[in-house]
Every structure is written in structure tokens, then in C-alpha cells.
A and B are shown apart, each in its own frame.
Chain A
């Protein structure tokens, strides 16, 4: 079989971090190749290199036998590689047709004027050809469902006539019916000879769509096999390898009255009927893949996002008005998954960022001085071992790990009883991540109850007492963490409910 894409010793280093190491492999033409790996496995780096967004440190990429050097994304397009990222890149208020031909709108011959009827005709023909003829090319993209938008994005990619199409988690935001439509489009493209690199976290759907499975782990190629041979055990082995179970110090099992209870919480369309309890001093993990509604769940509990139904009880009392001020007064804090966008005020000092949540506590009749805050700031810097020159420096000067500690320190200064951590380990190096889990752990011994939400299951196994699986908007399983194997968790997360 013809080889569409060949990699020779492909390597990418970021400073001392090896994102991808010596990746050599061949992808056959006209097949759907699933690429698997946990976060940090090097998948994203690989996609970006093929898309021309990142340049390899060493190694070669051969497309249809020709060596390629992608200095710029446009070079990759010219070589016939088109990438559809997880975040859609459509302009919401423009029509489907304009979005497909953005930057390449057809003109009336020899004039600068756009040929609108021609554009619609062209778009209609392309949509029909892709089996998406029910999408009106004149309609604004913003009126389409996410699944439809995903299809438009792929049609747009196909308008460039690629020989290789990269799809980065195309189904993560889709409902079941939409997944099927997407799959039929992918199959249609494959049958036309397009080679597809398909990245997904949903193991269950691979059997339906993929021809081969290739896995990366910690930047290394760990294996590849035809889908027919890829049993779940084989896949998990490739993704995780051997894991030594974490040994954790014994500690009393949290019991007694729950401090926080969630009853039948629903957030349309993500969560339906989520219920669980959190006890004093407990670290509760919630494992859920992208699009499982994990962030929505935490934000709903904290009063920072919409809620469509259900009750939140603190100390057994139902909270009527769930809002940030109310929840904060009850001793609840929330650290967002995105430090840059919503966790920290990047242009302010480290000092100021450590005093955001506790501002009211530090102030006396509205007045506040640095002097009054200093001891609290210094205590956090010491307790969390935040490495800094001076607290007066802007927080943006810190590394990701240290910034994350500032986020945590900001809340600890408000002496919370319950902290909700949304992906506390994201974008943080291994050592800092370990330290952050240590902090959560040690604060739990002092009585702090935490909920940690993460896609990184090994991390949950490392720091949580109990782990819930959030899947398809429901808590589907519960594990008491007693020498738990992350593979078990992964299988539980990935399994898809059988189609109704």
C-alpha cells in the first residue's frame, strides 16, 4: 500500500523539555489513522509540526515520498496537509459559503467585485459532494449547531483539496447523532483517497472509524497496530505502559455528615442529574474527558455559571441563592482551569494577585494597606514555595507552575473550607504539579475539603481519596482510591454508552 506520510526521527525540544522524541513511522494512504496519547504525550506537538505551526528540532517529514520543510502554516497547506483544530476557526456572522472560501472568494472576471451567485453555487456543489447538502450555504454559521459547524469546518478544509487531513478531537463537543454524520463524512473522504490523522480521547468510537491505531507516550512512539488487533487492553498498554501503583500514606477515611452535597444538578445540555457528597477533609476527584461538563459542574457549584436545576447543600442546608458572593461567604473557593484568561490579573503584581479573593478580609472599613497584607502574602509564598524575586513583580513574570501556586495561594488567604480545583495541573511542569497536589493533600489534613477535576487520571489517583467518573452528563461510576490503577479509570471514562 502506498505511503502518504512518513516520519523519520521526528523530534521537538522546548528548551530542556522533550515534547516529541525520535518519532519514526509511516501512515498508509487512504486510511483513517487514530493517534492516541494522554495529555503531554506529544500529540499536539506532532499535529502542529504537520500543520507547519511548529518547526521540528530535528528529523524529517516526507509527504508522498518528498521531504518537506514547513517554515510556515501556508507551506503545509501547499504540501496538501490541512488541519482542523479542536477550537473552530469560523467567523460566526459570515455565511457558510463565505467561511468556506474565506480569503479566496471568487471574483467576476477581471474585476475586484465578488461573484456572490458564483460563490453560493460553488459552496452548494461542495457541500453536496461532501454529503452535507442539507446545510444552506447562505446561512450564517452562528445559526448552526456545533456539530454542523464542525462539518462546515471540515468542508472548508476539503475545499483546499488536501491529501492529508488532520482532525483534532472532532467529536469532543458533539452529540451522538452529529457524531454519526461526522463519521459518514470522514468515511467518504477516506474512500476518495484522503489520508486522515484522527485524534480522539473516545476509545469506544475508534472501532467504528479508525483503520489503524498509533500511540505516543511522554513524547515517545509506543506502538501502532491495525484496529482489528487493538483490544482495549492493547490500547491502554500502549498509552500507559507499566504503572507502579502509587503508595499513599494511610489516612482516616472521611466520614460523618457531608459538608457539601449536590443533588440532581443539571446544566443544559452538558449535565443531567449529577449528585454526590463531599466530606470534611476529603479530596474528591472528578474524572471527565473534554466536553464531559466537568468545568460547567464546578462553575455551577461556585455560582459562576448557569444552573438549570437541582440543589446545592452546604452543611446540610439548601442554598437558595447560588452566587459567587454567597458561596464565598460560605467558605467556598474556585480556581479556574485557565490561569491566563480567568485565574490571574496578569499585569498586576504577585502581591496583588495573592490578595484578590481575600480583599475583604484584609480591609478594615474598606481601607487596606500593603503593610496589612504583607504577612499573609509572605506566608503563602513560603508555604507554597513560590519561587520569586519580589512580590512586587508582575505575576506574568512567573512560570506556569508558580502562577498556579499564586492562584491557589490567593484562595488559601481567604481561609476557605471547600476549594474547587479545575485542572490544577494544566500547563504546569511535573515537579510543580506534584507540589500542587502535595499542597491539596496537606491542606486536606488540616480539614480543607477539595474537589479536583482533571483529565489527567494518574494525577487524580495520586491525590484523591475518592474518584467519580463524569461521562455523558452523569456520574457513572465511583471508585474509592485504594491502590487504584489509572487504566481502570481510563476505561471507565472512555466507555461510551450504547446508542439508544
Chain B
């Protein structure tokens, strides 16, 4: 992230969270039993895979100056919609065909994207703040998940379906690959495309961006759709892990995702932040939660720590006025 020739001090300022993450990692390595085992390391990565990739979408969204509070509900709703669609398309077969699942998956992705586009339309056409529309969507989608499942999980998936959530390639869980692909894709999008440049410009000053001829409305809508799509992918992973469409999953995940993004140094005022920073934030949260479990922390205390963490991260961001990580 730094150019050659920058001093360590500048590096430290720009990557304060990375240094804190490394320090935490070393601390945990020496104090928590079993932390360093390969299985535990992979477990951390698998745990953060879903909130992580949603966080990458959320990073773009917050940089462009919007937010989506409905991602947790979207994970649950898309898992249920998918399970329901598989069941409907295959006619309730015990072992639905591959194409039944693929068709249901495509439809679920389209469903997710359309919710994002709808929020974008409300934002652009009627100036409804996404904070409000996504709050409404959070309740709506949670309700929808319960409605179509009638409160009980739908188990409609074929036997191979477990692989998406629990399968391993070279001993590494499949969702971890999804996380890495999502990271690379969003990182390239943010730094090496005119779309990504527009995201920063619009979040920094929407009027200046508009007068420079950038497509403000379109870019905002895309960011909303991308975030929704990542949430749908998260829903697919969770439905595979549980082998069902379960309306109770991912409760409160929006909080986890948004905290990771804030910890990663993305400004809630828009225009500032990076995918890399969000990745560091996601890793930090993952390592800390894993460590607290290994240390034997009370799970309720863990929630308190999370809350304190968000405040702490915001303060660190304000105090260390880091210059925006340069493009590329």
C-alpha cells in the first residue's frame, strides 16, 4: 500500500490497524492454547468468510456515502428463498438435479440484486436515505424469511450441496476461496476501474462528481446491488452449512459487518477507506472473537467487547488522521 521511500512512521500511520492486528495476533499466539494450530487458523478464516465478503461490498457502499442495514436479514431471506425455490423447481424431489439448484441460485441472486436496485431507486428518485430504506428492508426480509418457511427450516438440497459451505480444497474450506475471490474482485474494482474512482469521488463530494459528469445515481445503485449480492452469496454458504433454508441465521450480522468496516478505517462520512482496510478489520474481529472463545470469555461479555471495540476503532480513526490510502 505504501510507495517506496515512505518512512516507517508514515507506514505506521497509514496502517495503524494492521499493526494493532499483528500485535493482537502475537499476544493471542502466546496466551491462547490451540490458537496457532492449522485447524484453528482455517477455522477463523471460515468463520469470517461470509461477514468478510459482505464487508467488502459494504465498504464500497459506505465509501459512496450510503449504508445497508439489511444484510443480516438478506442472508437469512436468501437462504430461505433458495431452499424454497429448489423445492418448488424440483417439485419437492428428494435429490434435486444440479440444474434445479443452479436455476434457483440464479433466481435468488436476481432477487438480492433487485432489492439493492429497489433501494437505489428509492434513494435516487425520492431521496429516501438508505439508512431508512434498508432499515425497513431489514424488517421486511426477516419477515419474508419466516413467511416462506413458516418458521421451520426447509431441507430441500441435494447431497452434494454441503460442499459449498463445508467442503475443502487442499484442506482449505471452500468459503475461504470465496472470500479471497471477493477480496480480489472488490479490490480491483475499487482501485483499478473508473467505477471505483467514481465511488470515491461521489462519496467525497456528490455535487462535484455530478458536475464532472459522473453517473452518481447509477454508481450508488450498483454499490447497493453489489452489497446485496454478497449477502445472497453469504446466504447460499449458510444454507449449505446448515443444509437447509433457516430463517434464524445471521441475526445481527449487519452489526458485525459494519463494525469490521469501521475498524478497517472506512469513514462513515464517505469518500475514505479501502477494501484492504476492511479486510484487516474483518481479520481483527475474527482473531479477537476466536481468542475470546479460546480464553474462555463469557459469551455475553464478548458482545460488550464488540461494542466497545467499535467506539475504540472510531476514536483511533479520528485521532490518527490517516491520509487516505492512495489508489493502488
Measured CB to CB, the residues of A under 8 A from B are 302, 304, 324-325, 328, 334, 336, 341-349, 352, 355-357, 359-360, 362-363, 366-370, 392, 394, 410
Q: Which of B66-74, B125-133, B173-181, B206-214 binds A?
A: B206-214
Q: In the complex the two chains form, is A359's CB within 8 Å of B326's CB?
A: no
**A-B contacts besides A346-B204, A348-B204, 18 pairs, CB < 8 Å:** A302-B211, A304-B210, A304-B211, A324-B210, A341-B205, A343-B208, A344-B205, A344-B208, A345-B209, A347-B324, A348-B324, A352-B200, A355-B197, A359-B194, A359-B197, A368-B193, A368-B197, A410-B212
The reply to whether the CB of B82 lies closer than 8 angstroms to some CB of chain A is no
CB distance from B147 to the nearest CB of A (A): 39
CB distance B193 to A348 under 8 Å?
Answer: no
Cα separation A410 to B197 with both chains bound (whole Å): 14
B86 at the interface (CB under 8 A from A): no
B202, closest chain A residue (CB):
A345
Nearest-CB distance from B95 to chain A (Å)?
42
Report which residue of B207, B211, B212 has the largest number of chain A beta carbons within 10 angstroms of its beta carbon.
B212
Which residues in A have their C-beta under 8 angstroms from that of B195? 366
Chain A CB count within 10 A is highest, among B195, B207, B213, B327, for B213
CB-CB < 8 A to A324: which residues of B?
Answer: 210-211, 213
Residues of B within 8 A of A355 (CB): 197
Instruction: Collect the chain B residues with CB atoms within 8 Å of residue A410's CB.
Output: 212
| Chain B residues with CB below 8 A from A346, complex form | 204-205
Nearest-neighbour CB distance to chain B for A185, whole angstroms, equals: 36
Contact A366 B193 (CB under 8 A): yes
- Whether A370 pairs with B204 at a CB distance below 8 angstroms is no
Residue among A302, A334, A359 facing the most chain B CB atoms (10 A cut-off)? A359
Q: Is B249 an interface residue (CB 8 A)?
A: no
Taken together as a complex, chains A and B put the C-alpha atoms of A370 and B197 apart, in Å, by 11
Residues in chain A near residue B211, CB distance under 8 A = 302, 304, 324, 334, 336, 342-343
- Does B194 lie within 8 Å of A363, measured CB to CB? yes
Q: Which residues of B contact A344 (CB under 8 A)?
A: 205, 208
B12, chain A: closest CB distance, angstroms:
18
Residues of B contacting A357 in the complex (Cβ-Cβ under 8 angstroms): 212-213
Q: Is the CB of B205 within 8 A of A368?
A: no
Are A328 and B193 in contact, with the CB atoms below 8 A? Answer: no
Contact of A348 among B3, B201, B213 (CB under 8 A): B201
CA distance A356 to B210 in the complex (A): 10
Residues of B within 8 A of A370 (CB): 327-328
A-side contacts of B201, CB under 8 Å: 345, 348, 352, 356
Determine if B296 is an interface residue (Cβ-Cβ < 8 Å).
Answer: no
Contacting pair B194 A360 (CB below 8 A): yes
Question: Nearest residue in B to A372 (C-beta to C-beta)?
Answer: B192
- Cβ-defined contact, A345 with B271, below 8 A: yes
CB neighbours of B204 from chain A (8 A): 345-348
Which residues on A sit within 8 Å (CB–CB) of B207? 341-342
Roughly how many angstroms separate A46 CA and B136 CA in the complex, as a whole number?
52
Residues from chain B with Cβ under 8 Å of A394 in the complex: 323-324
Closest residue of chain A to B204 (Cβ to Cβ) is A345
* CB-based nearest A residue for B189: A366
Complex: A356 Cα to B204 Cα, angstroms: 12
Determine if B326 and A349 form an interchain contact, defined as CB atoms under 8 angstroms apart.
yes
